[in-house]
Amino acid sequence: MQDGERDWTDRYWWSADGVRLHARVYDGPPEAAPAPPILCMPGLARNARDFETLAPHLARRRQVVVVEFRGRGESAYAKDPMTYVPLTYVQDVAAMLDEFGLSRFAAIGTSLGGLVAMLIAATMPGRLVGAVLNDVGPELETAGLERIRDYIGSSGSQPTWMHAARAFSELNGAIYPDYRIHDWLRVTKRTHRLTPEGRIVTDYDKQIAAPLRAPGGAEAGVDLWPAYHALGNAPVLILRGALSDILSQRAAQKMAGELPNARLVEVQRVGHAPTMDEPEARAAIDTWVAGLPGE
Task: Confirm if 41 and 93 have CB atoms less than 8 A apart.
Answer: yes
pLDDT for the residue numbered 294: 86
pLDDT for the residue numbered 5: 63
Q: What is the pLDDT along the chain (295 residues), one digit of tens a residue?
A: 444 468 999 999 999 999 999 999 999 999 988 999 999 999 999 999 999 999 999 999 999 999 999 999 999 999 999 999 999 999 999 999 999 999 999 999 999 999 999 999 999 999 999 999 999 999 999 999 999 888 887 778 999 999 999 999 999 999 999 999 999 999 999 999 999 999 999 999 999 999 988 765 545 568 899 999 999 999 999 999 999 999 999 999 999 999 999 999 999 999 999 999 999 999 999 999 999 998 6
Set out the domains of the chain in order of their start, with CATH numbers.
9-152+222-290 (3.40.50.1820), 154-203 (no CATH)
pLDDT for the residue numbered 1: 45
- What is the number of other CB atoms lying within 10 angstroms of the CB of residue 206? 15
pLDDT for the residue numbered 33: 85
* pTM, rounded to two decimals: 0.95
Distance between CA 130 and CA 90 in Å, rounded?
Answer: 17
Residue type, 200: I
Distance between CA 1 and CA 61 in Å, rounded?
Answer: 17
pLDDT for the residue numbered 154: 75
pLDDT for the residue numbered 227: 97
Break the chain down into helix, strand, coil percent, rounded to 5. Answer: 35, 20, 45
CA distance readout (Å), 285 to 174, 183, 255: 25, 22, 17
pLDDT for the residue numbered 221: 64
pLDDT for the residue numbered 156: 85
pLDDT for the residue numbered 4: 47
Distance between CA 119 and CA 112 in Å, rounded?
Answer: 11
